[in-house]
Amino acid sequence: MLHNEATGPTSVTDTLVRRPFTPSANVAQLKESATIAVSTRAKALKAAGRNIIDLGVGEPDFDTPEFIRRAAQRAIDAGATHYTATEGILPLREAIAAQANTDYRGEGAIAAGDIVVSSGSKQSLFNACFVLFGPGDEVLIPTPSWTSYYEMVGLARATAVPVLGDPANGLKATAEMLAAAATSRTRGVMLNSPNNPTGAVYSRDELQAILTLAEERGWWVLSDEIYRRLSYDRAATSLLELAGSRDRLVVIDGVAKAYAMTGWRIGWAIAPRAVASAMGALQSHTTSNPAAVSQHAALAALTEHAAAERAIAAMVAEFRRRRDAAVALLAEEPRIRYVYPDGAFYLFLNVGGASGAAGEGDAGTVFAQRLLEEREVAAVPGGAFLAPEWLRLAYAAPMESVLAGVRRTIEVFRELAR
Ligand code: PLP
C-alpha cells in the first residue's frame, strides 16, 4: 500500500489508474490545428453576441450546388446507407480516373484500382504520408504551407523539412531551393498549387523543374491539388499533365473547395497501384469507407459535367470579384506587402512592418489577436504556416465582409506601424 496525503492509503493499481494523462509518443509533438483554434475563438465571440467577420475559415461560403444535394437525397432513398468498398464505390473511382486521364498523358493510364477515396483530402494526405514515410525519412515542404502537412509528416515519425519560399516570387520554393535543403535522407516533397496560405500558383515551368529534380533523386512527389479549379488568371497546372510516369507520384484532390462540399468529406488519392493498396489497407483498419451518401453526391459532382461547370464558373467569378476588390483596397496602404493571389481564396499579408505588433509573441499572432478582439475580424496568424510575420485572410465570405475585413486590417496596420 502507498500513502496519499489527500485520500489516505491507495494501492499500486490505484496510483497507476489515477496517473494524470500524458500523451503517447505517437502524439507527443502534435499541435492543435492553429486554423481551427482561430475559428473556435471566433465562434466563442460570436456566441457571446459579438458581430465577428470571419475571414479565418478556409471554406467556400456558398451552398453545395442544388444538383449535388438532389443526387444525395436520391441516393438515400435508393438505400445508399450501408458500408461500401473501403476504397470507395467503383463508379466514383471510375469517374475520378476518367477526369484524371484527361490530364495524364504518361505511361499506364489511370484506373479505378489506382484510386482510394477517403473522408476528405485531409485523410488522403495523411494516409499517403503514413504509408510512404517513416522514422529517419525527411520530407521537404515548401513553406509557408498548410499547417497539417508538418503534423502529418510528424505523425508518420518522419521529419518535415520546411523550405522557405522566395518573397520576391510569391513565397514559392524553386527546384534549386529544394535541392539545397535535401540530404541523403530526403524521401519526398509535398506540393500545393494553388497554395494555402499564399494563393500563389506555381507555373508549369516551376513545377516541371521540381518534378525533374524529384525524378532524378527518386523522391516521392505528393501533389495536393485541392484548389486547382480555383485559379483566376490562368489554369493551374496538375502534376498529372507533366508526369511521364506515375511511379513516384501521388496526386490528392477532392470535392471540398471547388464544389463547395467541405462538410461532405470526400477526397481521394491517385497513386501507383501498390501505394493505393497500402492506403486502402490502412483505411480498412481506421475509418473504412467514406460516407456512402457523400460518395454519391461526389459522383454527381464529377459526372454531371454541364451543371458542375456552371456552378464552378459562378463561384470562381465571385471569388475573382472579391479578390480584385480586396487587392484594389490594399493598394491604399502600400506598406502592406502581400503575395499576389492568383488562386485559392486567401490573401497573405506581411504585417512585419507593423513594429508595434512585435510585442508579446510574433507579429502575426499579435496582429491577429488585435484584429479579432478590437476590430471583430477573424484571421489566421502566419505562424500557423511557419511564416510568423504574416497574416492570412480568407475571402470566402460575402463581398461586404471581405472589404470591411481588409479595411480594418489596414487600420490596425496603421495603428501598429506608427
Ligand atoms: N489541403 C489543403 C491545402 C487545404 O487547405 C485543405 C483544407 O483546408 C485540405 C487539403 C483539406 O481538404 P478536405 O476538406 O478535402 O479534407
Sheet containing 380-381, strands listed edge to edge, beginning at the edge strand earlier in sequence: 337-338, 346-350, 390-394, 380-381
| Span 324-345, average pLDDT | 97
Atom of ligand 1 nearest to the CA of 255: 15
Residue nearest to atom 8 of ligand 1 (CA): 58
- State the distance from the centre of ligand 1 to the C-alpha of 410, rounded, in angstroms: 28
Cα(222)–Cα(200) distance, integer angstroms: 18
Ligand 1 pocket, mutate which of 196, 226, 261, 348 (most atoms under 8 A from CB): 226
pLDDT over 90 (residue 16): no
Whether the Cβ atoms of residue 165 and residue 143 lie closer than 8 Å to each other: yes
Query: What's the pLDDT at 1?
Result: 43
Q: Are strands 337-338 and 138-143 parallel, antiparallel or unpaired?
A: unpaired
Query: What's the pLDDT at 41?
Result: 85
- State the distance from the centre of ligand 1 to the C-alpha of 199, rounded, in angstroms: 14
The residues, any chain, with a CB within 8 Å of residue 126's CB and separated by 6 or more, are: 148, 152, 155
Query: What's the pLDDT at 224?
Result: 98
* DSSP β-bridge partners for residue 349: 338, 391
- State the distance from the centre of ligand 1 to the C-alpha of 10, rounded, in angstroms: 49
Cα(307)–Cα(300) distance, integer angstroms: 9
Place of cell 483530402: 121
- State the distance from the centre of ligand 1 to the C-alpha of 262, rounded, in angstroms: 9
Ligand 1 pocket, mutate which of 36, 143, 148 (most atoms under 8 A from CB): 148
Q: List, for residues 96-114, the tens digit of each pLDDT value.
A: 999 999 999 999 999 999 9
Ligand 1 pocket, mutate which of 38, 57, 119, 122 (most atoms under 8 A from CB): 122
Atom of ligand 1 nearest to the CA of 124: 16
Atom of ligand 1 nearest to the CA of 59: 8
Cα(161)–Cα(154) distance, integer angstroms: 10
**Does residue 60 have a cis peptide bond before it, meaning omega lies within 30 degrees of 0?**
no
pLDDT over 60 (residue 285): yes
Query: What's the pLDDT at 13?
Result: 64
Q: Which of the four pLDDT bands, split at 50, 70 and 90, describes residue 358?
A: low
Q: Count the neighbouring beta carbons within 10 Å of the beta carbon of residue 283.
A: 23
Cα(29)–Cα(209) distance, integer angstroms: 33
Atom of ligand 1 nearest to the CA of 58: 8
**Smallest Cα–Cα separation from 320: which of 348, 341, 306?**
341
- State the distance from the centre of ligand 1 to the C-alpha of 225, rounded, in angstroms: 9
Residue nearest to atom 5 of ligand 1 (CA): 196
Query: What's the pLDDT at 69?
Result: 98
Query: What's the pLDDT at 354?
Result: 78
Q: For helices 121-132 and 273-284, give the axis angle rounded to 10 degrees.
A: 110
- State the distance from the centre of ligand 1 to the C-alpha of 88, rounded, in angstroms: 19
pLDDT over 90 (residue 282): yes
Q: In this structure, what C-alpha cell is assigned to residue 405?
A: 475585413
Query: What's the pLDDT at 349?
Result: 98
- pTM assigned to the model: 0.94
- State the distance from the centre of ligand 1 to the C-alpha of 122, rounded, in angstroms: 6
Structural domains in the chain, sorted by start? 34-58+308-417 (3.90.1150.10), 82-303 (3.40.640.10)
Atom of ligand 1 nearest to the CA of 344: 5
Mean pLDDT of the chain: 94
Query: What's the pLDDT at 28?
Result: 86
Q: List, for residues 25-59, the tens digit of each pLDDT value.
A: 888 888 877 667 777 888 899 999 999 999 998 89
pLDDT over 60 (residue 3): no
pLDDT over 90 (residue 77): yes
Q: Who lines ligand 1 at CB under 6 A?
A: 58, 120-122, 146, 192, 196, 224, 226, 254, 256, 262, 267
Ligand 1 pocket, mutate which of 198, 224, 257, 262 (most atoms under 8 A from CB): 257
Percent of the chain at pLDDT exceeding 70:
94
Q: List, for residues 147-185, the tens digit of each pLDDT value.
A: 999 999 999 999 999 999 999 999 999 999 999 999 999
- State the distance from the centre of ligand 1 to the C-alpha of 52, rounded, in angstroms: 24
Q: In this structure, what C-alpha cell is assigned to residue 218?
A: 527518386
Burial 83-104 (b: 16+ CB within 10 A, else e): ebebbbbeebbbbbbebbeebb
Q: Which residue has the higher pLDDT, 79 or 15?
A: 79
**Smallest Cα–Cα separation from 367: which of 356, 167, 134, 194?**
356
pLDDT over 70 (residue 246): yes
Q: Which residue has the higher pLDDT, 40 or 317?
A: 317
